[in-house]
Structure 1
């Protein structure tokens, strides 16, 4: 039996696959297209589509533990619910699901509410799972690094309520720890929910200041105009996705992204290391550019 990782070519999934391989675990990487990515030695590529029941049944047939992540798509909820139902059908009792922080609070944001729906299924059917609720990924800002460095402007309209961004590598470390904990248990474990946040809340202004410090020149915050943000995204993304992201940014400006006191210490206990700071992330990004 093995651990199946969906989204295995994505930001988090690829990190999880790498860490499982390093741990000598029998890991399977689910992909929609064969040969899209070279995986570490010992990792088995499994070709399947979350929207295709037959292929998912086959993919789950010899799996002990499942990591489930769903891309932001119009049919995200359908894909997730089908995968979880098929996992139950296959007798899988060890699951780690990647949701999002405040999925119950950002009720008008499609992909947040979609993930909350999936959480409700896990809870109502008492599925033995770890639900991971990450905040804004630091790696999201790689998409605007060129803009920051070329135009001295931080364009993400995250506002001033405070966002405790988390490094995707820390998300992967927690996910792997939970996958191994469940996989190695002699029986199904109780359901657990973990909020994943970084060590410090950040605002648009403080993020710009960190980039200024690292680059040695002034970087300004572009402001809170979510309409302009949507318009920019629409130039290279589908309209539904750009609007979803606009609604998310408006929610971030209103609510922020914060976790309960003691979360950082808890996550560091799980991973065995200090959580990465946003300044660490920026310095690495600039050095590698």
Structure 2
């Protein structure tokens, strides 16, 4: 019984591989260039790309469970749909898919709409899957770490509604747990969705206050300007992605990113420990600087 991990060289995928290997699972990881991949011992590494169908066929041969993680790219839905079709042809029924929370609400945000479409295809194709719906990644704020520490401003457009930010380490651990649960079940388990949230709902002002405490100097919140956020982001990412992120920020301001009742308790019970807090991330970030 082999678990295939896509997106394995990324932050979350790599951690999923590590958790699975520690649990004694037979893990196969996809990498565009296996010679550059660095995984734990006993990890099988195969060359693969979502747009190279033959490489996917090879990677999915003999696989019993699939972790499907697609990065934000212009053709995200096409790539994921190709992967689902190849998986079905390979006889893979057990899937854990990393989607996004409120995918059915943030309908004008391209990467949310793409992930929601993948969710719909998983249902329509009758896969037995866990659909993980993470909120905003705490580690996204590493992108603005230098602005926080150098200029004293937290610039992410979080707004006043609040986001239930989650640590990527918790996401990876939960994903590995769900993969093992499905892979070890005698029969494929029914489809289910899990919101992945952090233990707190934080506003932009809340986060600035945390950084003020951690750095022992005033940090201000200045992130409601989504137009300025887009223009700044265009220095580092393609224009289409900067616009996508701007649209997401506008939904943060309008709707927030809030958990459903019982989400935190469910995840705490699943992990057997408390969820990691934003303050822990800030302290670790400063300590490692």
- TM value normalised by structure 2: 0.98
Give the number of equivalent residue pairs.
289
**For residue 38 of structure 1, what is the aligned residue in structure 2?**
38
Q: Tell me the CA shift for residue 89 of structure 1.
A: 0.9
Residue matched to 1:190: 190
Q: Secondary structure, in 3 states, of the residue corresponding to 1:63?
A: coil
Counterpart for residue 123 of structure 1: 123
Distance, in Å, in 2 between the alignment partners of 1:120 and 1:288 is 41
Partner in structure 2 of residue 215 of structure 1? 215
- CA distance in 1: counterparts of 2:254 and 2:29, whole angstroms: 38
Q: Which runs of 5+ in 2 are unaligned?
A: none
Q: Give the CA deviation at 1:186.
A: 1.1
Distance between the aligned counterparts of 2:254 and 2:11, measured in 1?
A: 27
Give me the CA root mean square deviation. 0.8
Give the alignment of 1:70-109 within 5 angstroms.
Answer: 70-109=70-109
Deviation at 1:98, TM superposition (A): 0.2
Partner of 2:110: 110
Residues 106-153 of structure 1 show CA distances to partners (whole Å, capped at 9, x for unaligned) of 111000000000011112222100000000000000111111111111
SS in 2 for 1:131: strand
- CA distance in structure 2 between the partners assigned to 1:120 and 1:4 by the alignment: 22
CA contact (8 A) 2:223 2:229 kept: no
Match of 1:236 in 2: 236
Alignment-derived partner of residue 66 in structure 1: 66
Report deviation, 1:284. 1.0
Corresponding residue of 2:139: 139
The unaligned stretches of length 5 or more in structure 1 are: none
Q: Given the two structures, how large is their TM-score scaled by the length of structure 1? A: 0.98
| Residue 37 of structure 1, CA deviation | 2.6
Secondary structure of the corresponding residue to residue 244 of structure 1: helix
Residue in 2 that maps onto 1:14: 14
- State the alpha-carbon separation in 2 of the partners of residues 254 and 124 from structure 1: 31
SS in 2 for 1:35: helix
Q: CA deviation at 1:34?
A: 2.0
Residue 281 of structure 1 is matched in structure 2 by: 281
1:101 deviates by 0.4
Describe the superposition over 1:251-283 as per-residue Cα deviations: whole angstroms up to 9, x where unpaired: 111111111111111011111111001111111
Shift of 1:156: 0.4
